Amino acid sequence: MLTRTTVTSLIAALTSFFLISSNALSQGNDPLEVNDVTKVVCTPSCANDDARFAQALSQAATNGKAVYVPYRSTPYTLTSTLNLSSKQHVIGQLDGGWLQDGWGASQVLMPTLKFSANLNPGAIVMGPSSSLHGLNIIFDGTPTAYAAVWIDGGAVSIRNVRIQGAYNGIDTRSSGLSCTSGYNNGRLTIANVFIDAQSNIGVHVTRTCDFSLLNDVEVWAASYSGNRVAFKFEKNDWVQITNSGVFNSGTGFQFVNDSEGGSVAVMTGSQCDYCYHDIDINGDHTVTINGGINNALHYGLYVHNNTVTCDGGSSNCSRVAVSGAQFAGDGGNNGTDGYVIHVTEAKSFTMTGSVVRKKGPYNQGNNYTAAQFRGGRDFTFVGNIVEANTYSPPATSGSECVHVDTNWTTRSTVTGNIMLQGSPNGRACLGSGSNYKWAANVSNGTGCGP
- For position 32, what pLDDT does the model report? 30
| pLDDT tens column, 294-331 | 999 888 999 998 887 776 656 788 999 999 999 998 76
CB 45 within 8 A of CB 84: no
* Closest CA relative to residue 128, chosen from 38, 208, 192, 216: 208
Contacts of 373 (CB under 8 A, 6+ apart): 343, 349, 379, 381, 402, 403, 404, 405, 409, 412
- For position 65, what pLDDT does the model report? 86
Residue ranges of the chain with per-residue pLDDT less than 50: 2, 7-8, 10-35, 102, 333-335, 362-366, 392, 449-450
CB 346 within 8 A of CB 380: no
* Per-domain boundaries in the chain: 68-253, 269-450
CB 413 within 8 A of CB 435: no
- For position 112, what pLDDT does the model report? 92
Q: Which fold, 68-253?
A: Pectate Lyase C-like (2.160.20)
* Closest CA relative to residue 135, chosen from 180, 78, 92: 92
- Per DSSP, the residues of 41-63 read --SS--SSHHHHHHHHHHHHHHH
* Closest CA relative to residue 233, chosen from 274, 194, 281: 281
> For the chain, what percent of residues have pLDDT higher than 90?
50
Strands (DSSP E) contained in 336-431 are 341-343, 348-352, 355-358, 371-373, 376-382, 385-388, 400-404, 409-415, 418-421, 427-430
The length of the chain is 450
Determine which helix (DSSP H) or strand (DSSP E) holds 23, and give its type and residue range.
Answer: helix 4-26
Strand partners, 240: 213, 266
C-alpha separations of 298 from 103, 214, 342, 361 in Å = 29, 26, 10, 12
Q: Indicate the pTM of the whole model.
A: 0.87
Angle at 201 between CA 196 and CA 206, to 5 degrees: 125
Task: Tell me: cis bond preceding 361? Omega within 30 of 0 counts.
Answer: yes
C-alpha separations of 12 from 3, 7, 220, 282 in Å = 14, 9, 55, 69
Rounded distance between C-alpha atoms, residue 131 and residue 128, angstroms? 9
- For position 181, what pLDDT does the model report? 72
Strands (DSSP E) contained in 269-375 are 271-282, 286-290, 293-304, 319-323, 326-329, 341-343, 348-352, 355-358, 371-373
